[in-house]
Amino acid sequence: MARFFIDGGTRLSGEVRISGAKNSALPIIAAALLTDKKVVLKNIPDVYDVRTMIQLVEHLGASTHFKRNVLIIHASRLKRLEAPYDIVSRMRASYYVLGALLARAKKAVVAMPGGCAIGPRPVDMHIRGLNALGAKIEISRGCINADGRNLVGRKVDLQGPKGTSVGATINVMLAASGAAGTTVISPAAVEPEVLDVADFLKTLGVEVSGHGSHRITIKGGNVFREGASYTIIPDRIEAGTFAVAAAITRGRVLIKSALSEHLTSVLEKLIEIGVKVTFKDEGIVINGRGSKRATNIFVAPYPGFPTDMQAQFMALLATVPGTSTIKESIFENRFIQAVELMRMGADITIEGDTAVINGTPTLSGTDLMASDLRASSALVLAGLAARGKTVVSRIYHLDRGYERFEVKLRRLGAKIKRGR
């Protein structure tokens, strides 16, 4: 099993280029199944989840070629309409083929999804949205069996107990692309990845409007043009992770190709803590030197503070003087990294959905066990700042969403290597 070996205490310095957004790439790869023409996708990150999604669309009958972050997909004919458990169990985002298959083939069988162990993420809202379009869905033997022969554009309400759902919004968008008539999704998620999917659908000829607001309108039907070429947006979570890496090591890093408008809440918190943030034509400069102060974070759907950045900030706040709090309002089990951080000397108390963090002068390197994708990155960041040696095991979690993470860190001066 691969591990990271880290010698902590080095200030990061230099520049890093951010890869394409994993959470855009996955649904857009699924959306390429909508057309029987060739699709060229650029800036696709070479991460494990992307490789899994490529394997899934190949299983369904698409031919693919992936090299140097360019992915060519040609689903001229779908050979299968079933997404099997052995693939879907590795990655929750596999369920995006559900909406795409309903639009293209009017039928789909998709195993119930897997993913990180960060709390229950039911597919109820996906099913409710697809039912609203006229799909008939049954769950049997761990699979979602869907019949989309009667898909019709309608009003789709995706309001859930914790707001709307990014995944459900995207799945309904994909299905609505093949539904007769006009679909209105309200409330819709407004995350940048939702906008990215909508913009890709427009390159296929789908009439989409309102994306970026909580009301998305799609005029469906088989209107797909002669193929498409599209460039994925930069990954805002990777950009945020490297911003925290600069802050926690008290270093100075230029983050290139990141879109600052996608990082507003993250950058605002860094500034509040005492990190210097400078915007330049070539990117965002994060300067972590100087005194720091505690803060309070409330995790919320976009444009609020992202749940995918909560773990990294917990590691950072563990090194900031004073008492900070993080309230997690989206996932129930997303403080798993706290136990490992406490093994490094962090002073963290979990009180229900709130973590109380008393900053300590130094963390101590030790052996750590990663539990999910973002927790993995948080432990690596803590190891970079800690005194002594840190070993992070089960880094396959991290490989799901970060492209050449340790390589990029080494270029910034980090003493980190991969081994067994």
Q: What is the CATH number of the domain that holds 169?
A: 3.65.10.10
| Residue 321 CB neighbours (<10 A) | 14
The SS3 assignment for 159 reads coil
- Which letter does DSSP use for residue 387 in this model? B
Same domain, 271 and 390: yes
List the domain range (segments joined by +) for residue 308: 3-18+234-419
Task: Report the helix count and the strand count for the chain, using DSSP H and E.
Answer: 14, 24
Same domain, 13 and 37: no
- For residue 51, what are the contacts with CB-CB under 8 A and spacing of at least 6? none
Torsion angle (degrees, nearest 10) of CA 99, 105, 110, 114: -40
The residues annotated with a catalytic role in the active site are 116
Same domain, 241 and 291: yes
From the number of C-beta atoms within 10 Å of its C-beta (0-12, 13-18, 19+), residue 38 rates as: middle
DSSP string, 5-33: EEE--PPPEEEEE--B-HHHHHHHHHHGG
- Reference 379, options 334, 344, 415, 333; nearest CA is 344
Same domain, 214 and 264: no
CA dist., res. 53 & res. 30, Å (int): 8
Looking at residue 114, what is its pLDDT? Answer: 52
State the first-to-last Cα distance of the chain, in angstroms, to the nearest integer. 6
Same domain, 322 and 216: no
Ordered alpha helix ranges (H), 180-295: 192-203, 236-248, 264-273
Last residue of a domain, one of 178, 206, 231: 231
Q: Please, what are the averages of pLDDT over each run of 10 residues along the chain (420 residues)?
A: 96 98 98 96 98 98 98 96 93 92 96 56 84 95 93 94 90 96 97 98 95 96 81 98 98 97 98 98 96 97 96 98 94 85 98 95 96 93 98 96 98 97
Ordered alpha helix ranges (H), 67-208: 85-88, 96-105, 124-132, 166-176, 192-203
Same domain, 223 and 268: no
Same domain, 187 and 266: no
Same domain, 51 and 7: no
Whether 394 contacts 382, CB under 8 Å: no
Same domain, 218 and 319: no
Same domain, 162 and 26: yes
Q: Please count the structural domains in the chain.
A: 2
Spatial strand order in the sheet of 347-351: 296-298, 323-327, 354-358, 347-351
pTM of this structure? 0.96
The SS3 assignment for 150 reads coil
Looking at residue 223, what is its pLDDT? Answer: 67
